[in-house]
Structure 1
Amino acid sequence: MNWNSWAEVVAMGGYGQYVWGSLLVVAAVIAVELIELFLRRRAALRSLRLNLTEHA
């Protein structure tokens, strides 16, 4: 596709709201997944540390 301006890129032939909306949702879901992964990892490490100190 050839666009002559950034406005045409954003509009994407009238489908821009669906394309950019979908990308926004995907980015939000990935961000939530990364945050949850970080929190689960931190909880697992904390639990492991606690178990190691109790059984040492």
Structure 2
Amino acid sequence: MQFDSISDFFNMGGYAFYVWLAYGVTFFCLSTLIITSARQKRKVLIEIAKKMNREERLKETRSNKS
């Protein structure tokens, strides 16, 4: 679709509300997904590091008892 001016582009032939709302909802959902995924990844990596440290400490205590 070709527009004569920038205001025609933003008006979207009378469907601006629906078009820009769709873009907004999509951007919001994708942003939320990215942010929550990054936070969950960080939590999982921290939990894995804690478990590895705990296992290392257990191995050290077992080897010291022997």
TM-score (norm 1): 0.95
RMSD: 0.6
Unpaired segments ≥5 residues, structure 1: none
Aligned-pair identity (%): 23
Q: Which amino acid aligns with 2:54?
A: E
In the alignment, what sits opposite 1:46?
46
Shift of 1:28: 0.5
Q: Which amino acid aligns with 1:6?
A: I
Whole-Å separation in 2 of the counterparts to 1:47 and 1:2: 53
Structure 1 stretches of at least 4 aligned residues deviating more than 4 Å after TM superposition: none
User: Relative CO higher for 1 or 2, CA cutoff 8 Å, sep ≥ 6?
Assistant: 1
Query: Which structure 2 residues correspond to residues 23-42 of structure 1 after superposition, within 5 A?
Result: 23-42=23-42
In the alignment, what sits opposite 1:4?
4
**Structure of higher CA gyration radius:** 2
Unpaired segments ≥5 residues, structure 2: 57-66
Shift of 1:16: 1.0
Report the count of equivalent residues: 56
Q: Which amino acid aligns with 1:54?
A: R
TM-score (norm 2): 0.82
